[in-house]
Amino acid sequence: MSIVTPEWVRDAIFYQIFPDRFAKSNRFGQNGYPPKPTHLQEWGAVPTYHGFQGGDLLGAAEKLDYLAELGINAIYLNPIFSSASNHRYHTHDYYTVDPILGGNKGFQEFLKAAHARHIRVILDGVFNHASRGFFQFNHLMECGPESPYRDWFHVHGWPLNAFNPEHKPNYDAWWGLHSLPKLNTNSPVVREFLWDVGTYWLKQGIDGWRLDVPNEIDDDSFWQEFRRRCKAVNPEAYIVGELWGEAHRWLQGDQFDAQMNYLFARAAFGYFVGEGMDQSDTVRSGYGHIRPLSGHQFAAELDRMSNQLYDREIVLSQMNMLGSHDTPRMMTIARGDDTAVKLMVLCQLTVPGAPNIYYGDEIGLEGRHDPDCRRAFPWYDRTRWHDDLYTWYQQCIQLRHDTPALRRGDFRMMYANSNVVVYQRYYQGQTAIIALNATPHDETIICPPIFTGKLTEKLVSDGEWFSGGNTYTLPGRSARVWANGLPNR
């Protein structure tokens, strides 16, 4: 079977937005948008499990120029459908955007503004479970076993115990949480409903789906049909699954185009931060305990992820992560070490796969286990911005945009020792060499004598050449990038 993934994803730089905390507009209460509820937390307040700070899609639309200036050309939105949770993974209505976010009208305004800037948009699809407020489940609570929707869920007794925390729910629920009843995807009616949701929003103009816990719908045929129907609407729709480990089963070309590549994140933290990691919260997240890695070990893991695990089409479409709404912030794990973070970012922007930047990481936003990793973006307090880090992000993103080899090229490990990793990306005659030194010690590397290219340094202004037989000193905790066919920056 020939594997085909969306062409545009190779060139994508994703930016993940948690809608309640990214940006807030003042346009509610006018132009057809109803006023917002009054009991919102102050913007920037300490995040809580149930509090809303009022971020919305109109506010996100107003920040699209900021994202374009950063170099972003794709957005992954955490759930936007109506919900009684600030993260909106408790879906009430899959066809209605939450009114606090601006409703369907606000989403269309956001989507139109994004597309006008050539920024793609993918939505978060939460199809394993719904919520107590989901109409069909509410119907079940009201009507009991006589409800015509009883086969939409896995019910084990009556009456439903949907609220009493002293007793387990008597229906299947995600992680046993009363508020998250698991949908019965064995039911033909439920399957058709979810497939229709998938195609409905593609017809409204979205560019793909990020799928929440898709492995918990343990049914290849469900996802195969989901893919078939979505691709029939838009062959270039991107389908990426939240899969924290190796994902061969779902990445054979008949289900998902890619996974959220937490494998990369673990490896990057292991090498660039190593023993210095703050793991007090990683063990509470999907990361688990992250093993420190030497240069040799990191090189082996990069090679495995890039050349051994999956088909090349999948590798070039992976969503490469350094954090998300489900993990402590990378700046926190790195204990505020800007240099380690910069090296990780450069690696993320130069290995195969589409980088995904969690909102605020580009300015060094910190945060521990959720909800703390979901802090409001500090638009009005520039003292909290790491300006050098933001500039570094811009430079690395621009380098990727300027270098086809970094977006579409094959990957080859050139050299590694216990401290240093050097790899090559090459595509249609263009070559880029990336050298990384995560340790505090200077290292000397030698360009292989058989290397016939002549490459120019791209991260500094001296324009030093990289060519066969030459030696280079890589200072401690630094990186260098050489490439051909590009102007100096």
Residues 450, 372 share a domain: no
Does residue 473 contact residue 444 with C-beta atoms inside 8 Å? Answer: yes
Between CA 268 and CA 167 the distance in angstroms is: 42
Does residue 244 contact residue 319 with C-beta atoms inside 8 Å? Answer: no
The last residue of one of the domains, among 347, 377, 402, is: 402
The last residue of one of the domains, among 368, 402, 436, is: 402
**In terms of residue numbers, what domain contains 244?**
7-128+185-402
Say what the pLDDT of residue 448 is.
Answer: 86
What is the total count of domains within the chain? 2
Q: Which amino acid is at 24?
A: K
Q: Digits of tens for pLDDT over the chain (489 positions)?
A: 789 999 999 999 999 999 999 999 999 989 889 899 999 999 999 999 999 999 999 999 999 999 999 999 999 999 999 999 999 999 999 999 999 999 999 999 999 999 999 999 999 999 999 999 999 999 999 999 999 999 999 999 999 999 999 999 999 999 999 999 999 999 999 999 999 999 999 999 999 999 999 999 999 999 999 999 999 999 999 999 999 999 999 999 999 999 999 999 999 999 999 999 999 999 999 999 999 999 999 999 999 999 999 999 999 999 999 999 999 999 999 999 999 999 999 999 999 999 999 999 999 999 999 999 999 999 999 999 999 999 999 999 999 999 999 999 999 999 999 999 999 999 998 999 999 999 999 999 998 887 877 899 887 655 678 888 889 999 999 999 999 875 444
Between CA 159 and CA 67 the distance in angstroms is: 50
Say what the pLDDT of residue 358 is.
Answer: 98
Cα dihedral 481/303/300/210 (nearest 10): 100
Does residue 437 contact residue 443 with C-beta atoms inside 8 Å? Answer: yes
Report the run of H or E that residue 198 belongs to, with start and end.
helix 188-203
Say what the pLDDT of residue 488 is.
Answer: 41
Between CA 438 and CA 478 the distance in angstroms is: 7
Say what the pLDDT of residue 487 is.
Answer: 46
Say what the pLDDT of residue 462 is.
Answer: 56
Residues recognised as catalytic: 212, 242
pTM over 0.95: yes
Q: What is the CATH number of the domain that holds 468?
A: 2.60.40.1180
Residues 343, 295 share a domain: yes
Residues 265, 215 share a domain: yes
Say what the pLDDT of residue 449 is.
Answer: 84
> Is residue 139 a part of any domain in this protein?
no
Place of tokens 């993940």: 16
